[in-house]
Structure 1
Amino acid sequence: MPEFSAVEGMKFIYPILIGFMVVEYLVARENYELKDSLAGFGIALGASIVASFTKVFTVVVVFQWFFDVFAPIREQYLGYTSIGFAWWAWILAVLADDFNFYWHHRLSHTVRVLWAAHVPHHSSKNFNFAVSIRNGWFITLYKPVFWLWMACIGFEPVMIGTALIINATYQYFLHTKLLGSLGFFGKIFNNPYVHAVHHSSNVEYLDKNHGGIFLFWDHVFGTWQNIIPGVEPKYGILKDPETYNPIKLNTHEFEAIFKDVKKAKNLKQALMYIFGPPGWSPDNSTLTVKQIQAGAIPQGAPSNSASEAA
């Protein structure tokens, strides 16, 4: 079955990626911290176990189901049943995939329950290839939703799965201090120099640079931020769980949501704690990223205190 082969193909890439990680460690081991790296491997192991079920199911069953169900509609109204495998179709698939990733990624930073699933990827205070494999265990439960439209309009499921693999592999190489901005190509393609901004907890850099392969999505949709001279990226998240436990790193924000929902005074507050932006509170005792960047100060805090966000 070709769809299954496309997803399975990822396993042949893993040894190569691990090899690059070993080389990076040998060249710049100062960028690695043992406990942090072990936590990253623990997160990656759990994510791989989940993905071994969900990814194959998504491509073989879910994408194929939507592709088949909408085939008669495509034939009737668009005059085709499949976009096919022409060279231009592959280019469109990669572009569409990256568009999907941008919005999946952006919403994973601005919708709290999605942030809870994504936050393990940002919980490291380091920036290296070991960070690239810190994929949250619950991401695959909602990520495919952003790709369903591709199957509906006629992209072959195997093509969607391959585009996902291309994007994931490219992004692996964004997490290192050993590569720069890629010169001219770095003005079009995502690169470690600007992805460092995305992994930074500096107020100026929060919720910026969500693109996967291409940079123009951030320019078009207003989330672009270059490195600011004199503002060195500080990696990690504002509300550090202060743990290396992979289970805790995957669940701490869900626990925080549960606690907040229990203290909600009405349904609207409960829903905002779940689906509102991280840091939202009805009394501004904690702040969202936009509030922090606007210079707001949480109620009850001294004027010189740092705000808490997600």
Structure 2
Amino acid sequence: MEILFENLPNPFAYFFPLFVVLILAELYISYREDKELYEAKDTVASTWVGIGAAILNSLTKVYQIGFFFLIYKLFEPLRVEFLGYESLGWAWWVWVLCLVGDDFNFYWHHRFCHTVRLFWAAHVVHHSSDKFNLGTAFRNGWTIFLYKPIYWIWLPALGFNPVMLALCMSFNSIYQFFLHSTLVPDIKGFNKVFNTPWVHQVHHACNVEYLDRNHGGIFIIWDRLFGTYQNREHHIAPKFGVLHPPHSHNPIKLNFHEFSDIWKDVKRAKTWEHKFKYVFYPPGWSPDGSTKTARQMQQELERQQAAVPATAAPNRREEAMA
């Protein structure tokens, strides 16, 4: 079975009407029940960011798939010589493996977007809203498409057809749209394996306890395996957004404000080592500790909690629920 590149289907075209209906339904529920899930300026900002991301994604799609085809063909002789096949083909189990492999790649790509400041600069726009709704799903960075394919090159090298890989990446993105809602309750058991809206609220929260957690796309098993899973605790309500918000609804500033901040820090740094660390160390790193990374803040919180006598634990929970 061969699918020609020029006839590559776009799954988003089939799901877009459903996306619109669900956003309108969430808007109606928010208005009817006075939940304040949406705010006009924030929604307009998400719309413009989403439109820009969609255009850039379309423009870079050819580059991405072309890059995958290049890797696919370059490694074909090695596959024949050492693995005994030219391609893995189109069997159903190959689709399953490709989908799982794609999500594994997404986990590490996403995790590094939170732990390497340069990549965070490209990703922060997705977290910059203090609202968590289905519209936020379209709030994607405009520069992230330039380096994202690097994480996926081992799949075409192994013989997964680039068209199959592109479709699996699209299916992953479509699934993640449904994660951005507070209206879906905790689905017991399901979130043992799969990512859910309840679990994804943690990822979008800027509470210290929730920072840099739950990076999976379709599956949450990667976070459980690699130590980044955090359940959404009923007594810790998520505060959505980022610790240092851009205080703007301008889509240009939303996409590039962190790059600007990096540049300012690099210019101010006194040594080349500090310049390097401002770019490639986790967000919040500073040589004098004046600003802290998520891990440093979590370690401080753990020390504070450990210093509180056990008898005071119920009071801490009551304060958190207040």
TM-score (norm 2): 0.89
> 3-state SS of the aligned residue for 2:206?
coil
Look up the match of 2:15.
13
Deviation at 1:183, TM superposition (A): 3.0
Matched letter for residue 174 of structure 1: L
> 3-state SS of the aligned residue for 2:175?
helix
Look up the match of 2:132.
127
Deviations 1:183-211, CA, capped at 9 Å, x for gaps:
33222110000100000000000000001
CA distance in 2, matches of 1:16, 1:229: 30
Deviations 1:241-271, CA, capped at 9 Å, x for gaps:
1111111000100000000000111211111
Look up the match of 1:290.
295
In the alignment, is the contact (CA less than 8 A) between 2:193 and 2:221 conserved in 1? yes
Matched letter for residue 196 of structure 1: Q
Look up the match of 2:311.
none
In the alignment, is the contact (CA less than 8 A) between 1:261 and 1:270 conserved in 2? yes
In the alignment, is the contact (CA less than 8 A) between 2:53 and 2:140 conserved in 1? yes
Deviation at 1:239, TM superposition (A): 0.2
- Say yes or no: does 1:25 pair with 2:27: yes
Look up the match of 2:286.
281
Look up the match of 1:166.
171
RMSD over aligned Cα atoms = 1.3
CA distance in 2, matches of 1:173, 1:56: 26
> 3-state SS of the aligned residue for 2:282?
coil
Question: Map of 1:193-272 to 2, 5 A cutoff?
Answer: 193-272=198-277
In the alignment, is the contact (CA less than 8 A) between 1:4 and 1:56 conserved in 2? no
Matched letter for residue 205 of structure 1: Y
Deviation at 1:177, TM superposition (A): 1.3
Look up the match of 1:301.
none
Specify which of 37, 40, 43 is matched with residue 37 of structure 1: 43
> 3-state SS of the aligned residue for 1:295?
helix
Deviations 1:129-161, CA, capped at 9 Å, x for gaps:
010000000110111111111011100001100
In the alignment, is the contact (CA less than 8 A) between 2:216 and 2:222 conserved in 1? yes
- Say yes or no: does 1:191 pair with 2:196: yes
Look up the match of 1:2.
4
In the alignment, is the contact (CA less than 8 A) between 1:125 and 1:235 conserved in 2? yes
Q: What count of residue pairs does the alignment treat as equivalent?
A: 295
Matched letter for residue 4 of structure 2: P
Deviation at 1:4, TM superposition (A): 4.4
TM-score (norm 1): 0.92
In the alignment, is the contact (CA less than 8 A) between 2:11 and 2:171 conserved in 1? no
CA distance in 1, matches of 2:266, 2:7: 43
> 3-state SS of the aligned residue for 1:181?
coil
CA distance in 2, matches of 1:31, 1:122: 15
Deviation at 1:7, TM superposition (A): 5.6
CA distance 1:135–1:86, shift in 2 (3 Å): same
Look up the match of 1:82.
87
Look up the match of 2:63.
57
- In structure 1, the gaps of 5 or more residues are 297-310
In the alignment, is the contact (CA less than 8 A) between 2:202 and 2:213 conserved in 1? yes
CA distance in 2, matches of 1:63, 1:4: 15
Look up the match of 1:115.
120
CA distance 1:229–1:26, shift in 2 (3 Å): closer
> 3-state SS of the aligned residue for 1:234?
coil
> 3-state SS of the aligned residue for 2:300?
coil
Q: Percent identity?
A: 48
Deviation at 1:69, TM superposition (A): 0.9
CA distance 1:139–1:267, shift in 2 (3 Å): same
CA distance in 1, matches of 2:163, 2:4: 7
In the alignment, is the contact (CA less than 8 A) between 2:214 and 2:228 conserved in 1? yes
